[in-house]
Amino acid sequence: MAKKLLLSQEEIRRALSRIAHQILERNRGIDDLILVGIYTRGVPLAQRLGERIYQFEGKMVPVGFLNIRDHRDDLPVRGTPSNPPTDIPVNIADKKVVLVDDVLFTGRSIRAAMDALMDLGRPRLIQLAVLVDRGHRELPLRADYIGKNIPTSLSERVEVRLIEVDGDDAVVLQEHPRESHSGRPNEVDTLLRSAP
């Protein structure tokens, strides 16, 4: 399969710095702010955003990790081995939560993440930060903070690689001819392959 580099390590670094600045500006600092990364690659992205916010503000923002597997509506089997457990270090009630994920595609992962958050409490507001928005939404969702908009076809796959998970940093676009019965790339297979 042909691959095209969309974001280099340095471009990922700059995108995260820009998103961190935007989060601070929009929320007027870090009061009542929580970053919550969605497993798998949303977790290191949330940690990196937290580090950048600390560099800019000199204060730590709480960073949590969210497992959305049991809230997904497009996985065939429940109760199978899944990602590590949800771990959010503070009560999210009446807080400003920034969900962090690597790629925004159909929107189903984000819907599941919001359901999972609501099981834990009622935030004052929920915002969304993604490294890549590739389009093809199936739900009326949009990101508040985007590293890069990348128009794609359904036959293409956006692969986000992060040092913490994959050993290097890069965003790559590749042709992905395998499709599910719906005619869309098989997201379930992709999700299961990315699980630790």
- Give the least confident one: 50-54, 68-72, 186-190: 186-190
Domains and CATH numbers, the chain: 8-72+81-152 (3.40.50.2020)
**Of the candidates 31, 62, 115, 83, which has an alpha carbon nearest to the alpha carbon of residue 196?**
83
What pTM was computed for the model?
0.86
Provide the mean pLDDT of the chain. Answer: 88
The pLDDT score that the predictor gives to residue 70 is 87
The pLDDT score that the predictor gives to residue 2 is 80
**Of the candidates 50, 46, 39, 56, which has an alpha carbon nearest to the alpha carbon of residue 129?**
46
Tens of pLDDT, residues 37-59:
999 999 999 999 999 999 999 99
